[in-house]
Amino acid sequence: MIRRLLAGVAVMWAAATAAYLALLLAPGDTVDILVGDGPDTPEIRAGIIAEWGLDRPEVVQYLAYLGRLLRGDLGRSYQSQRGVGEILAGQVWPTAQLTLAAAATGVALAGVIALVTAGRGRWSRTAASAAELVSVSVPPFLVGIVLLSVFSFTLGWFPVSGAAGPEALVLPALALGLPIAGVLGQVLRDGLERALEQPFAVTARARGLTERALVARHALRHALLPVVTLAGWFTGTLLGGAVITEVLFGRPGLGQVAMQAVTGGDLPVVMAVVLLSAVVYVTISTLLDLAYRVIDPRVRA
């Protein structure tokens, strides 16, 4: 456990450093970005350099940056001149809501489809995998637009924008969750079907267990292992997809903040989002490792 923790810290340090280096190597210097499209005179430049301490050597700036991070100070946004921590604090909860709802939607849909279609007739299986294929291959932007025009603009069932209430969460969560349902559904069904062909399944059937009970009590546990491995992948998909979904639906959140920061060259915000993603990733993969132990007794042994 200690080793995992240390590894996690190392990953975060690497993420912070990689983000710092990438932005250092990116074209255009910080002063240019801070000047932006505005007026540009030597006095303005000198003022900016003094204000942000950009005249120090890069190594010193890097160490100062790490030092601030350790103290939990994420710096100040170039664009809005507010504390980055404060900007992110207001945006974490809407994104958490969206990604959790999307993950729940994806997992629930995948589970239902896999349980209903695994080992059943060829037709239902084909139909389900076709639907899964579509949901995986259609870009989330398009899914979002289609959902909006049908359920919001035409039928008026759900509002388009904001994080006003649970009903405003339905469409974004669906748009973000569908691709996950597609992939997970396929993996889960394959796992179930493989488990149902194992010798233990034959034994269980011989004991008189119904097919339903066999799936629920025995096969599901086997099929879950690859799904849990995939959960690491879908954390990334969710965080990435949140950018598009939040902008499209006009929702507050980290994705939308990241988008604004990247296009505006707002380095402190970009770095903070990268770091936060790394933290989430490390946390989730640690939790998943623990989940393996619960699901698969062989790992514990």
Partner 1 sequence: MKRLTPLLLALALAACGTQTAPQGEQAASLTWAIETQPITLNPHQWSQNKARLLVFNQFDALVSRGKDGSFQPWPARSWKVSDDGLTYTFELRDDVKFHDGTAFDAAAVKANLDQFRVPDYNPAVASIQLGALDEVEAVASHTLKVKLKEPDGLFLDFLASPYGGQVSPRSLKTAKDLKFGGPDLVGTGPFILERYVQGQEIRYRRNPAYAWAPPGAGHQGPAYLSEVVYRFLPEAAVRVGALTSGQVQVIEGVPATEVKLIKSDPGLALQTALNSGTSFSYYFNVTHPPFDDQRVREAFREAVDVDAVLKAVYQGTATRAWSVVGAASPFYDASLERSFGGDTAKANALLDAAGWTERDAQGYRVKDGKRLSVRSVSSAPFVRDRRDVLAQAIQAQVKQSAGIDFQVKIVDQGTAQQAVADGAYEIFENSRGDSDVGAALNLILPRDGAINRSGYVDPRVDGWLDRASATLDQAERKKLYARVQRVVVTDKAVVFPIYVPADQIASRAGVRGLGFDPGSGTPRSAYDVRIGT
Where b means 16+ CB within 10 Å and e means fewer, 242-266 reads: bbbbbbbbebbbbbbbbbbbeebbb
The reply on whether position 101 binds partner 1 by CB under 8 A is no
The reply on whether position 248 binds partner 1 by CB under 8 A is yes
- Phi and psi angles of residue 76, each rounded to the nearest 5 degrees, phi first: -120, 145
Of the pair 172, 179, the CB lying nearest partner 1 is at 172
3-state helix, strand, coil in the chain (%, to 5): 80, 0, 20
The reply on whether position 162 binds partner 1 by CB under 8 A is yes
User: What is the DSSP secondary structure assignment for residue 83, as one 8-state letter?
Assistant: B
Which of 12, 61, 97, 159 contacts partner 1 by CB under 8 A? 159
Number of helical (H) and strand (E) elements in the chain, helices listed first? 14, 0
* Pattern 197-236, partner 1, x by CB under 8 A: ----------------------------------------
Q: Output the CA–CA distances (angstroms, integers) from residue 172 to 165, 186, 235, 242, 244, in the order listed.
A: 12, 22, 16, 9, 10
Which of 17, 126, 149, 203 contacts partner 1 by CB under 8 A? 149
Alpha-carbon distance of 41 to 44, in angstroms, equals: 5
Alpha-carbon distance of 83 to 272, in angstroms, equals: 11
Of the pair 146, 213, the CB lying nearest partner 1 is at 146
The reply on whether position 96 binds partner 1 by CB under 8 A is no
The reply on whether position 253 binds partner 1 by CB under 8 A is yes
Of the pair 12, 35, the CB lying nearest partner 1 is at 35
Residues 25-54 that bind partner 1 (CB under 8 A): 26-29, 32-33, 36-41, 43-44, 47-48, 51
Of the pair 159, 240, the CB lying nearest partner 1 is at 159
Which positions ≥6 away from 198 have C-beta within 8 Å? Answer: 222
Alpha-carbon distance of 112 to 121, in angstroms, equals: 16
Which of 20, 65, 234, 249 contacts partner 1 by CB under 8 A? 249
Binding residues (CB under 8 A) for partner 1: these are 26-29, 32-33, 36-41, 43-44, 47-48, 51, 79-83, 87, 90-91, 94, 145, 148-149, 152-154, 156, 159-163, 246-253, 256-257, 260, 263-265
